[in-house]
Structure 1
Amino acid sequence: MSSLRPAPTAIRLTVASWWRCGRSVSGPRTPSARDLSVFVDSVRRRVVRSGQCERGQRAISMELHDTSEIPSVVELNVGGVFYTTALTTLTKESDSQLAAIFNGKLHVEKDAKGKYFLDRDGVLFRYILDFLRNQVLVLPEGFRERERLRHEAHYYGLPGLEKAISEHSDSPTSGKRSAGYITVGYRGSFAFGRDGLADVKFRKLSRILVCGRVALCRDVFGETLNESRDPDHGMSDRYTSRFFLKHGFIEQAFDMLQEQGFKLAGSCGSGTAGGNAEQLKPGVDSEENRWNHYNEFVFVRE
């Protein structure tokens, strides 16, 4: 450290207790950490011999342990997210920012509960810890925060993790993935009536349908897949045409397919409007009905 800070208040109070026991500290100034270390060594020897002021000796021992030692199991508060890990994990990369912090080279604050506080992204810190533990980067399917994770790795001084993130993002189809087809379709129109505007007619989708092998659809769309209309909940190797998405954004579906290595193989579209004399259901706008259409897109992963 470039300079020594004054001893913490608790230590100054402990030194004052030694003063009351008849021991002396040079001068009225606040002792520095070096003064305290020399003072404690000399006083402890005298206390052991004399057996006096045992309470003051225990207080100094406790304060020295709290301010100079980091436990082997470390509790962290990273941006409001709590972690518990080994000190050896945090200091594994000797040239990293974390190693500098927990080797005592850099100062780190504690929160109200005594946990070491780092003002960084708490959610992404789990991937930092996983890499330090295993020296391997493992990201979940559909992970979309690679750039933010790369920034965190740069802050913590982990070039190995930065390289692993770059290699992972440059090869989105890396790893063993099953080949197959997924068909995405939707029926749409343009918003008229109460939801429409005089000069702009926005797209209006009723539902995005998903067809294909069940395991493949679940792998791609995850929690956004609605399976409530599928009557057969058997094996995942079966095929279905009864899935649909919980959202109405066709581009989001395309993004998820692209991230999983799918490419567009073909598409088709057609109008679904009936004749002008067709009887409309109550609440159906005639203009919206006129512009009804159905589009279908076939994606493949080889």
Structure 2
Amino acid sequence: MAQTDSQSSTSFPDIVELNVGGQVYVTRLQTLTAVPNSLLWTKFGQGSPGDLPTDSKGRFFVDRDGFLFRYILDYLRDSELSLPEFFKERRRLQKEADFFRLPGLSGRLAAAGGGGGSCAEDGGGEPEEAEPGSPVTTTAAASTSSSSSSSSERTLRSPGADSGYITVGYRGSYTIGRDIQADAKFRRVARITVCGKISLAKEVFGDTLNESRDPDRPPDKYTSRYYLKYNFLEQAFDRLAAAGFRMVACSSTGTCSYGGNDPAGDDRLWTSYTEYVFSR
């Protein structure tokens, strides 16, 4: 009990680690408290560490959508919002903005998300009150024209969000012993490749790209030689989904070879290769 009292009396560190729905974020306390009267401003600016739940590693835990919190954090940093092109989670992100008590962000999402019906439903057509420190903007009302809505849509998109295709390839191999499935010896090769335009690959995967096989290649060129520093395909899929890509096709092939002269008596080596095509 004494330890809890001591913890609650201390202040928050300047660098704060958060666990939001299983996703870990590291940011500054100044960022979390950037918008007065928001939920995070109340918890981290007016409360104390002992009042907040933590995970097993001592990080402050927030039971919300960990994927969408990245956009909440970006808005707190810059008072601006940049979403990937063809972003499909606008309505859910607006709910997150409402939960974190960010009316300026919620108003922008409502205005850009579908014209008059959405605005009248969420704000009754009333202008949104600007948050302190936010740039002065005019929020669309219920009678906003389609051209204004399209303009708002464009302001939410990332400036470098070009359309195109990215192909992710996965190669794996394993051996199977003599007619006994239990003797299977898996030798998975964590080899995940990226094919596509250099600029798109770098936009999506950033520093998780291993560029050692195509160094200093111009961004307007194409590559089939980049490897990803991932062991799981799902990690690559998450990055692509966050950047607005969706899977449009996939294909797979496999080969079998033998190590000796007697195919019936030697281990069989299976090699598989699968490609997933994503489009934005």
**Normalising to structure 2: TM-score of the pair?**
0.48
More helix, by proportion: 1
**Normalising to structure 1: TM-score of the pair?**
0.46
